Amino acid sequence: GGLTHFDQGGQAHMVDVGDKNSTHRIAVAAGKIRMQAATFEIIQSGNAKKGDVIGIARIAAIMAAKRTSDLIPLCHPLALTRVTVDFQLVPENHSVECQAQVETYGKTGVEMEALTAVQVGLLTIYDMCKAVDRGMVMSDIRVLEKHGGKSGDWTAMID
């Protein structure tokens, strides 16, 4: 089958979801940013008391989830009912992992909202640390699982 975002003539459209059921939909996405050891330590210490990089990245991620349909051209606007964003500090490889869960009761899924939250969460970490470490790399950004809707449950196979 072809891509649903194009009609039979190959032109892009915002696909018709009018006939879909309004169901409880959940998506979980994740990703990480790797950095130098010194940068990692700054984030780690700041997290405890001041210079709260993670706290700011979380707010940016939550707000970005709400802007998804403004950013992604063919994405439907959705009234999100829940957004949570967690960060995990991983000392072994000086990386910060971000995981976002987004929920709605609507006619289409929220994978894009979860991915957008992760991307902007990681970007905000980059922004706040770039003065000391311009070479940080973001990777492994993906959907981990989704629930609800006609296609039902799905879980990523992590290699």
Residues 13-42 that bind a second copy (CB under 8 A): 13-18, 24, 31, 42
Radius of gyration (Cα) for the chain, nearest Å?
17
Which residue in the set 37, 59, 89, 90 belongs to the binding site for a second copy (CB under 8 A)?
59
Rounded least distance, CB 145 to a second copy, Å? 10
The answer to whether 109 and 45 are in contact (CB under 8 A) is no
Measure the CA–CA gap between 137 and 126, rounded to whole angstroms.
Answer: 9
Q: Annotated catalytic residue: which of 127, 140, 153, 159?
A: 127
DSSP result, 42-109: HHHHHHHSSS-HHHHHHHHHHHHHHTHHHHSTTPPP--EEEEEEEEEEEGGGTEEEEEEEEEEEESS-
Rounded least distance, CB 30 to a second copy, Å? 10
Rounded least distance, CB 91 to a second copy, Å? 19
Q: How many CA atoms lie within 13 A of 37 on its CB side?
A: 1
- Does residue number 110 form part of the binding site for a second copy (CB under 8 A)? no
Which residue in the set 41, 91, 130, 153 belongs to the binding site for a second copy (CB under 8 A)?
130
- Does residue number 96 form part of the binding site for a second copy (CB under 8 A)? no
- Does residue number 86 form part of the binding site for a second copy (CB under 8 A)? yes
Task: Cite the active site residues.
Answer: 127
